[in-house]
């Protein structure tokens, strides 16, 4: 006879939506009529539909401003704005700057006096600093779960699988505290069974920070309904301007009403992506975690010039440089393009300037990522659009129709110049070893490097040895 005898009864134990099954065993000892009672818990996820994976969205609060404040804490609690390339317009604001009425996209020259009067600190975009701080934050988040999707420079989705025994809300507080201690960056954490709901939970955590302490978890049906009622349809992740107008026309004002629409209507008017969003908001995981960043479907180089350009030669040099930059980005992700767009625009704020904007799309004879070919066609587009007497302020080169280089379709009579492949490989090797802009095309200025107007640029505290903080 076995020393362990299974009793016929099986018990269930519930704790915060977590279900355990346990079996009673008696260990019979010699000379004892009654055996000792033992508990043996068994994990039975396959038997009970009470388990689900949880997603967390971690979002850095006012990320650009927070990065600047880490190394200049005297601006903590004071209004801060970050300007775009060439100090053109406002691209980021602290909460204090928002309260003063500084709008997103505000032209810097128009608000210069207001910045001074209201004591608003102005910073130029410091992308090396922001990129490095983002990497540090993401490295910390990877310690909590291997399933992570870096969604943007200041956002990441985390998926928690097999964390049924954990109090995830407390994990959120621990995560928030650790990121703050190790990097100085404040974050908000939203948790829910789906990605779309985690987005909403994050908004709630940030909106009501005094009550949530920066962490909010949608872990019950009651919380889900309440959160969807609170969320306006235009604030739902994935609902653009056109979809918002269409939904408001039929009386859909919030996220809950959207989830109550028939599946057929959503699929017809919003495609399968809209249907996935509806299910995700309903608590059915339909939008999966993308752990590997997919290749970009479109790549563009957009710049406002330091001043205005009037000569064709100057504009040609810039367009060629932009096309080369796009080609380098393509080769990094092993893509080729089938078309490119060239856009030019005059300075709308310059007195006496003739308003002008134009664009053209140039199909390519075959998919390519050659800097030589793309520069050639971009200049062809510029020649079609260039007008004398225009004060050009901005140009864009955008490549479209991206395909994997190994899967590109070649024609019978037109083929990619294979010599370009070896040349481009040499380009990339030299730039990787010695830095960018070491080799240029003949129509580019060898002495000119792209230097933006950054009058309020802070130091690269974490990436440049000569600019680190010195403690005296």
Average pLDDT over residues 234-258: 93
The 10s digit of each residue's pLDDT in 119-167 is 999 999 888 899 999 999 999 999 998 899 999 899 999 999 877 667 8
Nearest to 123 by CA among 185, 165, 58, 79: 79
Judge whether 92 and 124 are in contact, CB under 8 Å: no
The H helix count followed by the E strand count for the chain is 14, 16
Model confidence at 189: pLDDT above 60: yes
Alpha carbons 154 and 60: distance in angstroms, whole number:
5
Judge whether 156 and 149 are in contact, CB under 8 Å: yes
Domains (ranges, CATH) in the chain? 4-42 (no CATH), 52-219 (3.30.70.270), 221-294 (1.10.150.20), 296-406+438-453 (3.30.1490.100)
Q: Would you state the pLDDT for residue 25?
A: 41
Give the DSSP H/E element, type plus range, for residue 206.
helix 195-207
DSSP string of 131-180? HHHHHHHHHHHTTT-S-EEEEETTEEEEEE-S-TTS-HHHHHHHHHHHHH
Q: Would you state the pLDDT for residue 168?
A: 86
Q: Would you state the pLDDT for residue 451?
A: 55
Model confidence at 2: pLDDT above 60: no
Average pLDDT over the chain, rounded to whole? 81
The 10s digit of each residue's pLDDT in 285-332 is 999 887 555 666 678 888 878 778 889 988 988 898 899 888 888 888
Model confidence at 94: pLDDT above 50: yes
> Which residues contact residue 304 at a Cβ distance below 8 angstroms, ignoring those fewer than 6 apart?
84, 85, 86, 88, 393, 394
Cα atoms in the 13 Å half-sphere on the side-chain side of 408:
23
Q: Would you state the pLDDT for residue 23?
A: 39
DSSP string of 252-313? --BHHHHHTS-HHHHHHHHHHHHHHHHHHHTT---S----SPPPPS-EEEEEEEEEEE-SHH
Nearest to 221 by CA among 259, 252, 185: 259
CA distances from 396 to 65, 86, 340 (A): 27, 15, 10
436-440's contacts with Cβ under 8 Å and 24+ in sequence apart are 440/321, 440/324
Judge whether 187 and 180 are in contact, CB under 8 Å: yes
Nearest to 164 by CA among 21, 22, 20: 20
Alpha carbons 280 and 287: distance in angstroms, whole number:
7
């Amino acid at each position: 006879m076995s020393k362990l005898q299974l009793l016929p009864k099986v018990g269930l134990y519930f704790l915060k939506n977590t279900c355990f099954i346990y079996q009673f065993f008696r260990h019979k000892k010699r000379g004892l009529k009654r055996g000792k009672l033992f508990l043996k818990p068994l994990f039975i996820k396959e038997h009970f539909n009470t388990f689900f994976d949880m997603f967390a969205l971690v979002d850095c609060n006012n990320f650009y401003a927070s990065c600047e404040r880490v190394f200049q804490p005297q601006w903590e609690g004071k209004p801060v704005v970050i300007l775009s390339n060439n100090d053109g317009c406002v691209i980021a604001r602290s909460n204090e700057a928002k309260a003063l009425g500084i709008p997103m996209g505000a032209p810097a020259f128009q608000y210069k006096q207001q910045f001074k009067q209201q004591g608003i600190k102005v910073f130029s975009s410091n992308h090396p600093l922001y990129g490095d701080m983002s990497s540090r934050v993401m490295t910390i988040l990877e310690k909590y779960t291997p399933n992570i999707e870096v969604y943007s420079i200041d956002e990441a989705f985390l998926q928690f699988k097999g964390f049924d025994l954990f109090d995830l809300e407390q994990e959120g507080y621990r995560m928030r505290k650790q990121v703050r201690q190790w990097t100085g960056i404040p974050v908000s954490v939203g948790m829910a069974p789906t990605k779309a709901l985690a987005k909403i939970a994050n908004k709630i955590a940030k909106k009501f920070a005094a009550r949530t302490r920066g962490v909010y978890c949608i872990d019950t049906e009651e919380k889900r309904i309440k959160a969807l009622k609170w969320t306006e349809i235009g604030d739902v992740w994935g609902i653009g301007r056109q979809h918002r107008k269409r939904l408001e026309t039929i009386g859909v004002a919030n996220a809950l009403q959207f989830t109550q629409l028939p599946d057929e209507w959503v699929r017809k008017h919003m495609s399968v992506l809209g249907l996935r969003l509806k299910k995700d908001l309903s608590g059915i995981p339909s939008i999966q975690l993308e752990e590997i960043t997919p290749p970009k479907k479109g790549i563009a180089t957009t710049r406002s010039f330091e001043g205005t350009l009037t000569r064709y030669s100057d504009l040609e040099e810039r367009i060629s440089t932009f096309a080369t930059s796009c080609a380098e980005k393509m080769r990094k992700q092993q893509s080729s393009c089938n078309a490119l767009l060239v856009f030019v625009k005059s300075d709308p704020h310059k007195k006496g300037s003739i308003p002008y904007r134009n664009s053209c799309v140039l199909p390519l004879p075959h998919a390519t990522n050659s800097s030589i070919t793309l520069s050639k066609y971009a200049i062809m587009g510029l020649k079609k659009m260039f007008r004398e007497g225009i004060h050009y302020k901005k140009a864009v080169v955008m490549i479209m129709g991206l395909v994997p280089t190994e899967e590109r379709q070649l024609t019978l009579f037109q083929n990619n110049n294979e010599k370009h492949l070896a040349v481009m490989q040499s380009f990339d090797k030299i730039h990787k070893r010695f830095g960018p802009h070491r080799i240029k095309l003949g129509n580019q200025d060898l002495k000119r490097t792209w230097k933006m107007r950054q009058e309020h640029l802070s130091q690269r505290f974490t990436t440049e040895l000569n600019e680190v903080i010195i403690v005296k």
